[in-house]
Structure 1
């Protein structure tokens, strides 16, 4: 109770809450902040990476390098993050009829990426976009263990997130970096501003990721 009276309670969530939960938080003056997505609820603040921008950046790289047959490894069906990243990627090819896109579901797992690469390589792809780094690792290992394809001369691979493993020598994965530290600082700032000012207006931050070039692209 003392914390509630001083408005010192905040909930940061990546999962969309129910209307009832939102109403309960607001009635108790508990801050509720959307992290890494925008729920588009006017009364709530959010801090998110521009997932579509990252997908667009990956697509532009493949277009520049002249790829025609391109594979996409997506996360679980219904995943907001995967859908946004892949929408940005796919939409960038809308007016380029000569380009063929092939899809597999990797469920954000290493095994899913491994199996997806096995299927997609039958389509003679020369480029591969993965909606997260873990699936990209699975794709890379399948290619290294089961084919003689040269990475990146014969096939390019781009992941997403830039998790710590991405820069390991065994992967050296080109990826889209999520600005997690910057996003976390903004969440902290929102909480602090809300505590200081009872009339604080909800704010939505959308931050672009960064294309990190490593050894899996030319």
Structure 2
């Protein structure tokens, strides 16, 4: 027969914390519940007792009781893009600062959407944030039917009770066109994958409209994906087409363009055409690129997103809302 003493230490419970702190178990629960009514003195006593005992709140167990956890699902694809990882980092930081716990669910165009939905609902998430490259429609419709609040970032899907945060892509396209032409560009072009990306399509359309208003007819270079390799592959023909100014739908693709052009020239100075990107990823400021770009501020966007999510949690039946994130031109070496 096994010795009872060999079963290991007994798990510390909230009852133990209450006993050591000299308070009720209800007071312990309130102390670990954000915004709950509890005096600072009591909260401090509970926290100290919990620390001394090694007690941790089981938030998943609590969610089974409350029918909703403090988890927020972050559904994202295209995590190879530095902008996406930066965006997720800012969203996670803001969620944590608002007493939520982010759970990342990577997906893709080819992924089984039902599996993502199942994970979200099984975890009893308080809300869901879907970023631009993730396929959202089925996820959103089913989560909305289950009463789970959702916010989309940079998506065009218009779904009842689903809020959206959209970067000001029309301003971005206008800023890129104006800046290139003011810097002497006579044959502008835009490179993007408009068929699969709402933001790429909006940025391209705005860029072309602004070029035409300024008296120039832009070229369009369509690719399948807005990624580094697409930019690298497409760059081979740019100079032979007579293009002297290029707006890339994102910085990731612009870096591919610059690398291919500079490799072909065998030198490291300024590319022979003016280039503007979009997003202002960290690599855009690297000496190898010095990329002029349109900054999409992840910190501002994250705050906007979580604000909408929290208000949707509080009032789930509100009409769907759309907010825009402002953009800024950042001038560097490529123009």
TM-score (normalizing by structure 1):
0.85
For the residue of structure 2 that corresponds to 1:84, the secondary structure is helix
| Of 151, 175, 181, the match for 2:270 | 151
* Cα distance in 1 for residues equivalent to 2:142 and 2:258: 46
Cα 1:190–1:69, aligned 2, differ >3 Å: closer, same or farther? same
Q: What corresponds to 2:119 in structure 1? A: none
* Cα distance in 2 for residues equivalent to 1:57 and 1:183: 19
Q: Is 2:229 aligned against 1:165?
A: no
Larger radius of gyration: 2
Please report how far the alpha carbon of residue 212 of structure 1 lies from its aligned counterpart in structure 2 after TM superposition. Answer: 0.9
Please report how far the alpha carbon of residue 200 of structure 1 lies from its aligned counterpart in structure 2 after TM superposition. Answer: 4.5
Ranges in structure 1 where 5+ consecutive residues have no aligned partner: none
After superposition, where does 1:1-218 map in structure 2 within 5 Å? 2-4=66-68, 9-14=126-131, 15-18=135-138, 22-75=140-193, 77-105=195-223, 107-147=225-265, 151=270, 154-197=272-315, 200-217=318-335
Cα contact 1:106–1:116 (8 A) shared by 2: no
Please report how far the alpha carbon of residue 194 of structure 1 lies from its aligned counterpart in structure 2 after TM superposition. Answer: 2.9
Please report how far the alpha carbon of residue 167 of structure 1 lies from its aligned counterpart in structure 2 after TM superposition. Answer: 0.9
* Cα distance in 2 for residues equivalent to 1:83 and 1:55: 10
* Cα distance in 2 for residues equivalent to 1:24 and 1:128: 40
Cα contact 1:111–1:138 (8 A) shared by 2: yes
Please report how far the alpha carbon of residue 54 of structure 1 lies from its aligned counterpart in structure 2 after TM superposition. Answer: 0.8
Deviations 1:45-82 (A, max 9, x none): 11111122211110011222232112322136332121
Please report how far the alpha carbon of residue 39 of structure 1 lies from its aligned counterpart in structure 2 after TM superposition. Answer: 2.1
Cα 1:96–1:199, aligned 2, differ >3 Å: closer, same or farther? closer
Aligned length: 214
- What is the RMSD of the two structures over their aligned residues, measured on CA atoms? 2.7
TM-score (normalizing by structure 2):
0.57
Cα 1:28–1:174, aligned 2, differ >3 Å: closer, same or farther? same
Please report how far the alpha carbon of residue 106 of structure 1 lies from its aligned counterpart in structure 2 after TM superposition. Answer: 6.4
Please report how far the alpha carbon of residue 201 of structure 1 lies from its aligned counterpart in structure 2 after TM superposition. Answer: 4.5
* Cα distance in 2 for residues equivalent to 1:69 and 1:126: 5
- Give the number of the structure with larger relative contact order, counting CA–CA contacts within 8 Å between residues 6 or more apart: 1
Between 67-76 and 5-14, report the one with greater CA deviation.
5-14
Kindly indicate which of the two structures has a greater share of residues assigned to helix. 2
Cα contact 2:165–2:304 (8 A) shared by 1: yes
Kindly indicate which of the two structures has a greater share of residues assigned to strand. 1
Ranges in structure 2 where 5+ consecutive residues have no aligned partner: 1-63, 71-123
Please report how far the alpha carbon of residue 198 of structure 1 lies from its aligned counterpart in structure 2 after TM superposition. Answer: 5.1
Deviations 1:71-123 (A, max 9, x none): 32213633212111111111112345544424242622222212211111101
